Amino acid sequence: MFYTYVLLSQQDNKLYIGWTNNIKSRLSKHNNKKVKSTKDRGPFILIYLEACLNKKDAISREKSLKTGFGRAYLKKRLKNFYMGS
């Protein structure tokens, strides 16, 4: 399985969207400052996860969630949990 995930930075209250085939390991890497793009923004909490059958679909979903429409979808879907912009 592959996963598209959304993390919430507890430092700046902003989202990070990514994909992985091992969510537990990936979250650990984010929180242990081993991911260059997020090393100064942790700690993170996992707030959204979608499972995909293959890598191509996970990457496609990640790209979709990073668009304006995708972020609006997440904002609506997570409105009770995440109130950022």
In order of their start, the domains of the chain are 2-77 (3.40.1440.10)
What Cα–Cα distance (Å) separates residue 22 from each residue in 26, 31, 47, 70?
6, 14, 16, 23
Q: Kindly report, residue by residue over 50-68, the tens digit of the pLDDT.
A: 999 999 999 999 999 999 9
Q: Kindly report, residue by residue over 4-38, the tens digit of the pLDDT.
A: 999 999 999 999 999 999 999 999 999 999 999 99
Contact 30, 7 (CB under 8 A): yes
| Residue type at 77 in one-letter notation | R
3-state helix, strand, coil in the chain (%, to 5): 40, 25, 35
Looking at residue 83, its pLDDT comes to 61
In this prediction, residue 84 has a pLDDT band, given cuts at 50, 70 and 90, of low
Distance between CA atoms of 74 and 56, rounded to whole angstroms?
21
Contact 49, 41 (CB under 8 A): no
Contact 31, 8 (CB under 8 A): no
